[in-house]
């Protein structure tokens, strides 16, 4: 019997698998890669919500744990997936500058907002009101992480590419059984796919479609992440990831002409140089209306758990949420209410 059966091979599922490895627990991951939001994600991590100038009381804990968690993976697999990069918020007015400095005085934000204006003269990006710099930012190469880590688990016979069939799950008091697998606990980390899950389909996971580009812009010599109405993230070799759109109605992962037009319009607002669209990607993020994760166990089955709702911040929240859920299962340490499904009433 294994300790954990993990359903879902995206950022959440793989971070929980890594949490098991770091704590010497046995597990198996099942995934058919039907949910692609982790793979096409921008990969940015940023402890500040720049639209609203907010952060959480856990932001320092999250970012510290992120550094530790992904470094362990990089050292074991001998790859680099975590790329710390400065993030510059472009200001459009004096008012935005003033809002920045007011936010930087707040205790939760002061560790992350630099209090001097950045006067970088970035060719082909006009910014007469300068920039503010967010500290402790960067990006995770999510595709490299998923591909490398899934292959790592495959070689260890800890990963199976298959579609999970809920009808085959047998739930006992002390364990669950699925086909020929017996596990003490099952973790559902399915992203937007949770809507098909009979145990957790009631959860208010709305899903937000996002579209982004990879562009080639040889004249754009950018070494920082730029945040404006979109983000521009340098990947090297004159390539940049640019995004993203937000669509709350369309729940498909098919790129649209509407999304393409919006991104092109926003890029041309910011860049005064030519660019070529290399790829156009789309996916549905597992978002919750209150923008908080969904962690916890089923009310009638103590060995059935959900790990979901990481939304647009999966790279940052994934490791820390897995830590919270693991400690809840193994050490009976209560999950803080703003992470727990206990804050929601089943309808």
Domains of the chain: 2-43+142-205+289-343 (3.50.50.60), 85-135+207-285 (3.30.9.10)
pLDDT reported for residue 347? 46
pLDDT reported for residue 120? 82
CA distance 199 to 342: 15
pLDDT reported for residue 346? 56
CA distance 208 to 74: 30
Going residue by residue through the chain, which has 347 residues, state the pLDDT in tens, using 9 for 90 and above: 999 999 999 999 999 999 999 999 999 999 998 777 777 777 999 999 988 888 888 999 999 999 999 999 999 999 999 999 999 999 999 999 999 999 999 999 999 999 999 998 899 999 999 999 999 999 999 999 999 999 999 999 999 999 999 999 999 999 999 999 999 999 999 999 999 999 999 999 888 999 999 999 999 989 999 999 899 999 999 999 999 999 999 999 999 999 999 999 999 999 999 999 999 999 999 999 888 999 999 999 999 999 999 988 999 999 999 999 999 999 999 999 999 999 986 54
User: Cα angle at 67 between 140 and 193, to 5 degrees?
Assistant: 50
Helix (H, G, I), strand (E, B), or coil: what is residue 172?
coil
pLDDT reported for residue 41? 79
Residue 173 has what DSSP assignment? S
Residue 216 sits at φ, ψ, to 5 deg, of -110, 125
């Amino acid at each position: 019997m294994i300790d954990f059966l993990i359903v879902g091979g995206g950022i959440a599922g793989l971070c929980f698998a890594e949490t098991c490895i770091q704590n010497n627990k046995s597990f198996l991951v099942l995934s058919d890669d039907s949910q692609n939001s982790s793979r096409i994600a921008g990969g940015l991590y940023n402890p500040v919500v720049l639209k609203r100038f907010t952060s959480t009381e856990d932001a320092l804990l999250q970012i510290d744990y992120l550094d530790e968690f992904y470094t362990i993976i990089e050292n074991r697999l001998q790859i680099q997936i975590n790329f710390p990069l400065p993030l510059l918020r472009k200001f459009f007015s004096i008012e935005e500058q003033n809002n920045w400095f007011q936010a930087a005085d707040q205790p939760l934000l002061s560790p992350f907002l630099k209090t001097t204006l950045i006067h970088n003269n970035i060719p082909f990006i006009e910014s007469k009101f300068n920039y503010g710099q967010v500290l402790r930012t960067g990006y995770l190469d999510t595709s490299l992480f998923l591909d490398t880590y899934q292959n790592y688990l495959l070689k260890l016979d800890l990963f199976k590419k298959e579609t999970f069939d809920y009808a085959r799950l047998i739930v006992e008091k002390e364990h669950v059984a699925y086909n020929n697998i017996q596990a003490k606990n099952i973790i559902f980390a399915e992203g937007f796919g949770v809507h098909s899950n009979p145990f957790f389909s009631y959860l208010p996971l709305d899903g937000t479609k996002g579209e982004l580009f990879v562009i080639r812009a040889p004249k754009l010599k950018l070494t920082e992440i730029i945040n404006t109405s979109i983000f521009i993230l340098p990947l090297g070799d004159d390539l940049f990831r640019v995004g993203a759109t937000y669509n709350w109605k369309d729940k498909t992962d098919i790129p649209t002409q509407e999304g393409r037009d919006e991104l092109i319009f926003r890029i041309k607002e910011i860049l005064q140089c030519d660019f070529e669209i290399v790829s156009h990607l789309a996916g549905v993020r597992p978002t919750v209306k209150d923008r908080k994760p969904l962690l916890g166990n089923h009310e009638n089955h103590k060995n059935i758990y959900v790990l979901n709702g990481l939304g647009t911040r999966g790279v940052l929240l994934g490791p820390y949420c897995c830590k919270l859920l693991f400690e809840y299962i193994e050490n009976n340490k209560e999950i803080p209410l703003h992470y727990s499904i206990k804050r929601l009433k089943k309808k």
